[in-house]
Structure 1
Amino acid sequence: MNNNIIRDKSLQDRIDNKTLTIADHVRISLAEFLSSLFPGVKVYLNQNQQKLALPSLFVGFYEIANQQRMIDTSEYEFGFELSYIPDDKHSNTELTHAIFLIMQNLHFIDSEIGQFAVYSKNSDITDRIAHVTGLIRVMEITTPNDPMINQAEKELIV
């Protein structure tokens, strides 16, 4: 993870224990995207921060939806929000530039578990903060804990 990404203890524990959820992977991949687009800016994965270094970026969800498609397949839809707090709170130029850069480059997001497609995005400026919202859908297939399947997967991987 890039050095300008600030994560909380809970997320760091899941990283250390290798117990990341799909939601964690989506948040981390969005943070990685922002940190590469704005290399000198801190990207926070926790919304409640004090004493921010400006400018700052935040990654969060406004909605997570889930639908069971088949007995072993779930579809998740992540409504995310990327927020940019400018260095100069009076600069429309800084705010619109941040929105444009994000919108122009926000198509496919790479992660450790694959690539996520952003299929809808929107933006606004509220209270002198630039916001970009979007949707990512992810399918999760659960493999049954069956010894024969596990043996077959092991033999297939070898």
Structure 2
Amino acid sequence: MQPSSPHPSPAAASRPATSSASGSPVTARLGGALGLLSALVLATVALLGHALDGDDGDFGDPFVTAIALAAALHLGSAVWLLCRRGWWPLVLSAAPSALILGWLVAIAVLGFLAGHGTDGLGVLLSSGPWLAISPAAAGLALTPSSRHWVAAGRAGRAGGPPHQPPAA
């Protein structure tokens, strides 16, 4: 087949349609939306940590400051994904939530093994799903459709070949 042929290639016709009418894949839009929600969750955790710190309004606790910084980075990385600039910042910014979630799991398991019953399990079940939003957003940003969508946006800005949506 000639390169200037108006007919689509068989390889392009065999690709599944993962894009919506707006051209962005569902995984990228859902990953960005979950990233925004996760930034809100992290900001709430930071505000609660500051409110319960007991130091009369001083911002001296580095843990609370780190969580607030992680919330700001997560917000920026979710917007970065939705603007087709990059998927990797959202994946990297999921690390604090994943670490806090792992810490809660470790505390619950160690508390259970130490004979404290299921006290830690209640905390894990109440806050764990909220903290799991960030790794879920990172997983959606790692999907091939999201990465290809971002790469096509970069190529369009760099003067590369124009982005063609997959054939339906």
TM range (shorter): under 0.3
More strand, by proportion = 1
Decide which structure has the larger Cα Rg and report it.
2
TM (normalized to structure 1)?
0.26
Q: TM-score, normalized by length of structure 2?
A: 0.25
Kindly indicate whether structure 1 or structure 2 has the higher relative contact order, using CA contacts under 8 Å at least 6 residues apart: 2
